[in-house]
Amino acid sequence: MTSRAPTRPVGTVTRGTTNPNRLRRMDRWIAAAHGGELRRAAVPVAVDLGYGAAPWTAVELLERLRSVAPRACVVGVEIEPARVAAAEPYAREGLAFRHGGFELPVPGRLPQRPHLVRAANVLRQYDEDQVAAVWERLCARLAPADPATGSRGGLLVEGTCDEIGRRHVWVALGPEGPRTVTFATRLGSLDRPSDLAERLPKALIHRNVPGEPVHAFLRDFDRAWAAAAPYASYGARQRWIRAVRDLRADWPVTDGPRRWRQGEVTVRWGALVPRN
């Protein structure tokens, strides 16, 4: 019987930049949007893919997921072995770290298909034409949908944020592919919604040009923001809510005031999909 050579991790090393609470907006949205799916699973497994030079985001993800799904487990996956070794002292019940990449290695005792994969600031360094293949590979590893229980399957959340997590844009994908795009911001730091353009994920950031849907969306959002200026006297939150209400007339916004109050808005992927 021949031994099988270890598989080389798929992907390239990221810069590894990380800060505590950097991904709090993404985590908060995941808990609200995907908490029901996680609670439905016997052992909900989440992967923090490319957590960086320090394990803070994986540690925080476990805490935030367990607030809505107490049985949740998190596996931090990093392609740089030294980062895995540095994270090991933080491992505990429900939190493990593994050397790997887009193949998503998880401990053998856990289900082999995760219910959540969070990939924040991972694809920024890749070329735009590489994104679809990475998405497809990761989506194929997600837990499948189960019509018998009403489960839509696992969720991949892939996006980009600034260094301290004030501005963040992410795409949510299921086993079938992209579903939605979410724009999230600390409202007190926002001059206009198009400020979020610099944090568009790799699939969209080069498409913020005239003729592309994401450019039209941000243009219309800026116009709605300007029209909502009288609401600024009640605070940036009320102005954002009013702007999103107006935006909803022309764009397929999928969420409601409870999320808008958090400085978020989610739009169907089909409305922003790049043109060939």
Residue 209: domain span: 24-271
pLDDT the model gives residue 9? 76
Domains contained in the chain, number: 1
**Is 60 a domain residue?**
yes
Instruction: Write out pLDDT tens, residues 224-250.
Output: 999 999 999 999 999 999 999 999 999
**Is 76 a domain residue?**
yes
**Is 160 a domain residue?**
yes
pTM for the model stands at 0.94
**Is 199 a domain residue?**
yes
pLDDT the model gives residue 108? 67
Give a three-class secondary structure readout of 121-190: CCHHHCCHHHHHHHHHHHHHCCCCCECCCCECCCEEEEEEECCCCCEEEEEEEECCEEEEEEEEECHHHC
**Is 32 a domain residue?**
yes
H and E: helices and strands count for the chain: 9, 8
**Is 47 a domain residue?**
yes
pLDDT the model gives residue 12? 73
Burial class (CB in 10 A: 0-12, 13-18, 19+), 92: exposed
Q: 112-146 b/e with 16+ CB inside 10 Å = b?
A: ebbbbbbbbbbbeeeeeeebeebbeebbebbbebe
pLDDT the model gives residue 5? 40
pLDDT the model gives residue 106? 80
**Is 17 a domain residue?**
no
Tens place of pLDDT per residue across the chain (276 aa): 343 444 677 777 776 678 889 999 999 999 999 999 999 998 999 999 999 999 999 999 999 999 999 999 999 999 999 999 999 999 999 999 999 999 998 876 666 699 999 999 999 989 999 999 999 999 999 999 988 888 899 999 999 999 999 999 999 999 999 999 999 999 999 999 999 999 999 999 999 999 999 999 999 999 999 999 999 999 999 999 999 999 999 999 999 999 999 999 999 999 999 997
Give a three-class secondary structure readout of 44-81: CEEEEECCCCCCHHHHHHHHHHHCCCCCCEEEEEECCH
Q: Residue 128 sits in a domain of what CATH number?
A: 3.40.50
**Is 258 a domain residue?**
yes
* Element holding 204 (H helix, E strand): helix 202-205
